[in-house]
A and B are shown apart, each in its own frame.
Chain A
Amino acid sequence: MSSAAHDHAAPVIWPVDRQFGSARPAKLAMWIFLLSDWLSFAGLLLAYGILRANSAVWRLPGQPGLNVPFTALLTLVLAVSSVTIIRAYDAAAAGNRKGTSLWLAITALGGILFLTGQYAEWVGILHPGLLKEGLVFGQSAYASTFYVITGFHGLHVMAGCLYLLVTLARNLRHAVGANEVELLGLFWHFVDFVWNIVFVVVYLIPTPGGP
């Protein structure tokens, strides 16, 4: 690799700021975006909590339960992809373009696997999904909040996959900088961060005296 290409891939060191250290404006902007996005998720989760706490019967008779073991596997897939994006950043910072592409591709694959799993859960691939089993949007607060929250998160995973694939395509043409991979990593970690909370709140919290 030429030294110019190596310089392009190496992280840019900004002068240290008294308030924000060496964080670049782009990184600050990404954090601010992620925090505003977090407030959207927090609003949805709080609405879920209010509806669930005030409902006499949360899951109506005949409505299917959620498949916790399957979703736990999807959670692990996202956790692994969070680690692979760290490796992608490491490769980019080392100027290893091939390694960056490989780890970005593996991370994107993790995201696609998660989305496929979510499709299988909603619609069904080998077995009927929740929609065919009777969990219909608009039928109850249980059904509607489930689809809105997991769907909103799914859109984030989809956006993350597109972001990953675009960065991968750009890296295949010419090495992308470690700073760019770092921003992508922040977004991808956020997707996993939020999923862990959604998984606990929507899938794991038990209903007192109910299913």
Chain B
Amino acid sequence: MSSDAEAGGTSGHRMTSTQTALVLAVLVVLTALEVGVAMLFRGPSGLVTTLLFALAIAQAAYFALVAMGLRAETRTMKKLVALPLGIAAFYSLVLIAEALWRAVWRVTG
């Protein structure tokens, strides 16, 4: 079964050794990229932060979809998971907007 199994980690779908090695490679590369951006990239801190968040979101999405097997689940199941994850992300955007508004308000009086 394992050779022709659907990819999906521990979601009731088995992975081949090659697929497992690929998961490890992706996680290692993404972690190395994150550390590389944080320690070696000498750009504006806003740009570094944006890049790091993008990498973190990519890694989290890969984890949920591949390692946790969400991509092999039904649409309803995906929505069930995406909603609470999205609420936190949405709230962080609200906070960022609020912080920006306060910063502008401070400058303009």
Contacts and interface: CB of A to CB of B under 8 A. Distances in A.
B9 A196 contact: no
Contacts of B92: 46, 49
B9 A189 contact: yes
Contacts of B97: none
Interface string A39-74: 100100110011001100000000000001100100
A31 B81 contact: yes
Interface in B9-53: 9-12, 14-15, 20-21, 23-24, 27-28, 31, 34-35, 37-39, 45-46, 48-49, 52-53
A85 B53 contact: no
A192 B99 CA distance: 30
Nearest to A32: B80
Interface string A196-209: 11011101111111
Contacts, number: 145
A90 interface: yes
B74 A190 contact: no
Nearest to B82: A35
A89 interface: yes
B76 A20 contact: yes
Interface string B54-69: 0110011001100110
A24 to B, nearest CB: 8
A93 to B, nearest CB: 5
Given A39-B88, A87-B20, 15 more contacts: A20-B73, A23-B74, A27-B12, A35-B84, A83-B27, A86-B67, A93-B14, A94-B14, A182-B11, A189-B10, A189-B68, A190-B68, A192-B63, A196-B56, A203-B38
